[in-house]
Amino acid sequence: MLKTEFRVPDTMKAWVLGDPGQLRLTDKPVPRLEPAEVLVRVDAAAICATDLEVISHGPPALIDGELPFNKNFTPGHEYMGTIVDVGPTVDEFAVGERVAVEIHAGCGRCERCRQGMYTSCLNYGRNYGQYNKGHRANGFTTDGGFAQYAANHVNTLVRVPDGVSDELATLIVTAGTAMYGLDVLGGLVAGESLVVTGAGPIGLMVVAVAKALGASPVILTDIVDERLAVGTQVGADQVINASNEPAVDAVRRATGGRGANRVFECSGAPNAVDDAIKMVKRGGLVCLGAFSQQPALVDVGYIVTNNIYLYGIRGEGQSAVRRAASLLAQKKFDPSPLHTHTFAFDQLPTALRYAREKIDGAIKIVVKPQSMSRQAASEDVSLP
């Protein structure tokens, strides 16, 4: 039974950005709700590699060069929690429900939102000022989940299936990105061969979701055996350590010489796209899901000659997070091998260090905003 009333305090603990690379644990007012918003008590927040980027350099898509530093901004975009209040006009959710978040709520009025492409909203970041269009990207352009409470538009929420722990529920949005990419790759991947390049959290989740949807065989490449072993745990039919032999050759051999029907690039490695197009069968599809940092050399003529399509995906569009949550409710995949560590809220700096340095086999690290390891005073932390 849902608990239907919660005492919501006026202030909360939250981590905020100072200068690039600096975080401070501070007290902030609990957010007030606008129409279509709910208040989420954050029960768990996972760390994504993009959080490290945001903390160091700001989010990947800015408006007019605006950076979030020294503006009391709270990062964190992979979180879940319990609804403790609902704003005006909300009947989609009720107080007491457990929810996981999507990152993006589009403005609803630009060309892309009208097409249903809300993660590509053309008013990205415009949720302030005279021409506030209402877009939000949790933890990128609006306050995120490294806080005890967060205001969320109803469009950014999905229900957490019963029996899924808080920690694993933070991974639903990652599964949503995997699902979005598989949707873009045709949706019906049953019986189709798929190569996943890169065994980070997204790559591993692609393996898990693709297997749940019947892709076969699913081949995973990486250069770290431990990660490949987790890939096997979540269902990969074959794993390839690309430091032992050229991954393109191994994929070709594993697919009768013709390549796979689809490739999902999750590594961001410099050679990744060029490899991907050569791993895929003529007329095949490639999804690009990794934010690579440097321009890469790509054999464009090969793309043309072989009628290959490539799909860059941003975030978790087409309500993919909802689908992912449904698969999880049906126990079609098990994300638990991805969750490796949990920390108390005040230990976020340590958690970030584990994530960045991949200490102790870290894959997905979760912090619990409602729990403190000690009497937490405000504190300032510089991240290297």
How buried is 17 (Cβ within 10 angstroms: 0-12 exposed, 13-18 middle, 19+ buried)? buried
Q: How far is the CB of 339 from its own copies (least distance, A)?
A: 22
Q: Which is nearer to its own copies, 304 or 377 (CB)?
A: 304
Contact with its own copies (CB under 8 A) among 274, 275, 316, 346: 274
* Sole window of 72-80, 196-204, 287-295, 358-366 interacting with its own copies (rule: CB under 8 A): 287-295
Contact with its own copies (CB under 8 A) among 95, 117, 372, 383: 117
Q: Per CB under 8 A, does 283 bind its own copies?
A: yes
Q: Per CB under 8 A, does 50 bind its own copies?
A: no
| Angstrom distance (rounded) from CA 362 to CA 352 | 10
In contact, 260 and 278? CB cutoff 8 Å: no
Other C-beta atoms within 10 Å of 162: how many? 7
> 272-279 and 247-254 helices cross at what angle (nearest 10)?
20
Residue 218, CA atoms < 13 Å, CB-side half-sphere: 27
Mark residues 179-218: x for contact with its own copies by CB under 8 A, - for none: x--xxx-xxx-xxx-------------------xxx-x--
Q: How far is the CB of 380 from its own copies (least distance, A)?
A: 31
| Chain center to CA of 357 | 19
Q: Per CB under 8 A, does 128 bind its own copies?
A: no
Q: Determine the residue type at 93.
A: F
Considering only CA atoms, which of 285, 247, 251, 284 is closest in space to residue 267?
Answer: 247
> Please, which of residues 344-383 interact with its own copies by CB under 8 A?
none
Q: How far is the CB of 26 from its own copies (least distance, A)?
A: 30
DSSP code per residue over 322-336: HHHHHHHHTT----G
Total residues in contact with its own copies, by rule CB under 8 A = 91
Q: Which is nearer to its own copies, 45 or 105 (CB)?
A: 105
Q: Per CB under 8 A, does 108 bind its own copies?
A: yes
Contact with its own copies (CB under 8 A) among 4, 163, 297, 375: 297
> Please, which of residues 304-343 interact with its own copies by CB under 8 A?
304-315, 317-319, 322-327, 329-330, 332
Q: How far is the CB of 13 from its own copies (least distance, A)?
A: 30
Considering only CA atoms, which of 134, 156, 34 is closest in space to residue 88?
Answer: 34
In this structure, are strands 37-46 and 22-29 parallel, antiparallel, or unpaired?
unpaired
Q: Which is nearer to its own copies, 297 or 377 (CB)?
A: 297
Q: Per CB under 8 A, does 246 bind its own copies?
A: no
Q: Which is nearer to its own copies, 223 or 237 (CB)?
A: 237
| Angstrom distance (rounded) from CA 73 to CA 24 | 10
Q: Per CB under 8 A, does 159 bind its own copies?
A: no
For tokens 């991907």, name the residue: 276
In contact, 79 and 367? CB cutoff 8 Å: no
Instruction: Return the DSSP state at 129.
Output: S
Tokens of 86: 């609902």
Contact with its own copies (CB under 8 A) among 2, 282, 373, 378: 282
Contact with its own copies (CB under 8 A) among 36, 44, 151, 204: 36
> Please, which of residues 136-155 interact with its own copies by CB under 8 A?
153-155
Q: Per CB under 8 A, does 95 bind its own copies?
A: no
Q: How far is the CB of 209 from its own copies (least distance, A)?
A: 9
Q: Per CB under 8 A, does 63 bind its own copies?
A: no
- Considering just the CA atoms, what is the radius of gyration of the chain in Å? 21
